[in-house]
Structure 1
Amino acid sequence: MTRLTLYTNPMSRGRIARWMLEEIGAPYDVEVIAYGPALRSAEYLAVNPMGKVPALKHGETVVTECAAICAYLADAFPEAKLAPSVQSRGAYYRWMFFAAGPLEAAVTNHSLGFQAKPGQERMLGYGSYGLVLETLAAALSQTPFIAGDRFTAADVYVGSHLIWGMQFGSIAPRPVFEDYTGRLTSREAAKRANQLDDALAAEQQGAAASSAG
Structure 2
Amino acid sequence: MRLLCSIIMCLLFVGRVSADTLYVAAASDLVFCLEKLNHQFQQQYPQLQIKLATGSSGNFYAQIQQDAPFEVYLSADIRYPQKLIEQQKADANSLFVYAQGQLALWTNNPNVDVAQGLAVLSNSHIKRIAIANPDHAPYGQAARAVLVGQQLWDTLNPKLVMGENIAQTLQFIQSQHADVGFVALSLLRAPQLSTQGRYWLIPQ
Larger RCO (alpha carbons 8 Å, 6+ apart): 2
Structure with the larger strand share: 2
Normalised by the size of structure 2, how large is the TM-score? Answer: 0.28
Normalised by the size of structure 1, how large is the TM-score? Answer: 0.27
Structure with the larger helix share: 1
